[in-house]
Amino acid sequence: MLNTSYVGRSLPTTEPVTISAESVSRFARALGLPEDAQIPPTYLISLTLPAADPLIADPDFGLDWSRVLHREQRFAYRRELRPGESVSCAATVESIKTVAGNDLLVLRTDVIGDEGVAAEVWTTLFVAGDPQ
């Protein structure tokens, strides 16, 4: 079971990362899009996932990655991001709900660019409870 006292806790903001045209092209290719495509809406997952690393590594939180199933991903853009822009990610444990002995973990990650928050990303993970 996850430690529910973490709800509302913010993780350290990541170091700035510059969105490169090369990384956007690689991501677009992986999706079967043209290499010269605009930044795909789901590109942000490549930036936001590392923001949760401190939580995943925290033994007091109680997350066993082998029991995790990705349930949902939502993106809310406030403005378009551009190659060459530097962004940081600030993740927050938004909620933990226990349902039938399993946990639903929602992380919200703010993607902060040169002009403030550019997008918000919500990641919902299903964490299977301990087998009996």
- pLDDT tens sequence across 8-21: 999 999 999 999 99
Q: What is the C-alpha end-to-end distance of the chain, expressed in Å?
A: 13
Q: Can you list the domains of the chain with their CATH numbers?
A: 4-127 (3.10.129.10)
pTM of the model: 0.91
Distance of CA 132 to the CA centre of its chain: 31
Buried b (16+ CB within 10 A) or exposed e, 66-97: eeeeeeeeeeeeeeebeeebebbbbbbbbebe
CA distance 113 to 33: 25
- pLDDT tens sequence across 93-104: 999 999 999 999
Taken in order 79, 44, 106, 95, is the CA torsion positive or negative?
negative
For 108, the token pair is 């919200």
